[in-house]
Amino acid sequence: MSEEGKLDPNGWMLTFADLVMLLLTFFVMLLTMSSMDAKKLRNIMTHFRASTGVLDFAGSSKVYNLGNFINQYNDTDSLLVVDQKHFLAKIKFVTNIKKKLTDINNQITLSEDERGVALAFHGDILFAPGKTTLRKEVYPVLNIIADAIKTCPNNILIMGQTDNIPVRSKIYPSNWELSAYRGLSVLDYFINQKGLSPSRFSVGGYGSSRPLYPNITPKNRALNRRVEIIFKHLKET
């Protein structure tokens, strides 16, 4: 009110100015969210989880072929998901590996971390206990992966890992050697059997130094024994 006790005809402008400021703030927020780098956001989010990867986000699209997934993952800022059931069903179809497993869905996993997109084979899928010779029945599975490698530009990292049970072998003095030689066996298949370029690959072994779960049960130890085939992130230009 004015000094004379009358209503100020311009009083509404204060409320209107507040409303305009709120609307401006809202639209600036929308613009900021729409221009966020989804991949960087995903990478940030991975630091707040135990084993979450790209597969746990409900992305803008789904792809069913591993090679297509990797290429779309490289080329888009959208969050993508792979239908793991479809992918694993394809693996079951081309090989009799299912006969050797009670739960293939937990034995073959696809995830993402700071290294890239990792396809992990757990337990004794690829190798008999304490051995480094690939099981012949997994060749069709590795063929699927080799086809995916051919169709994408990513370099490939192969890492073997073991549980914490000491290896009993004169050939492999420790779990470090066992894990490294298992990685080398997978590398040898891709290079010498599938004709992939050696320049795209690197290989190593973590031994038992990076367990996914505490090595306190046979199930946990089986999950910790794994070989990861990692499609490394493309370097940003």
- pLDDT one-digit tens code per residue, 79-93: 556 656 666 666 655
Residue 163: name the closest of 104, 107, 219, 108 by CA.
219
Residue 101: name the closest of 142, 66, 52, 138 by CA.
138
pLDDT greater than 80 at residue 105: no
The pLDDT assigned to 137 comes to 81
Q: Is the dihedral of CA 50, 100, 126, 62 positive or negative?
A: negative
Facing residues of 118 across strands? 111, 230
pTM over 0.75: no
Q: Looking at the domain assignment, is residue 22 inside a domain?
A: no
Q: What single letter denotes the amino acid at residue 202? A: S
pLDDT greater than 80 at residue 188: yes
Domain that holds residue 123: 58-232
Facing residues of 161 across strands? 207, 226
Highest-confidence range of 29-33, 107-111, 144-148, by mean pLDDT?
A: 144-148
Q: Looking at the domain assignment, is residue 137 inside a domain?
A: yes
Q: Looking at the domain assignment, is residue 4 inside a domain?
A: no
Q: Looking at the domain assignment, is residue 97 inside a domain?
A: yes
Share of the chain above pLDDT 70, in %: 67
Q: Looking at the domain assignment, is residue 76 inside a domain?
A: yes
Angstrom distances, CA of residue 155 to CA of 3, 82, 179? 78, 20, 20
Domain tally, the chain: 1
CATH number of residue 170's parent domain: 3.30.1330.60
Split at pLDDT 50, 70, 90, the class of 15 is confident
Q: Looking at the domain assignment, is residue 41 inside a domain?
A: no
> Comparing 164 with 104, which gets the higher pLDDT?
164
Q: Looking at the domain assignment, is residue 84 inside a domain?
A: yes
Cβ contacts of residue 104 below 8 Å, gap of 6+? 88, 91, 92, 97, 98
Split at pLDDT 50, 70, 90, the class of 146 is very high
Q: Looking at the domain assignment, is residue 133 inside a domain?
A: yes
The pLDDT assigned to 193 comes to 95
Contact between residue 1 and residue 7 where contact means Cβ atoms under 8 Å apart = yes
Split at pLDDT 50, 70, 90, the class of 17 is confident
| Mean pLDDT score, 226-231 | 95
Q: What does the CA dihedral 137, 141, 144, 146 come to, rounded to 10 degrees?
A: -80
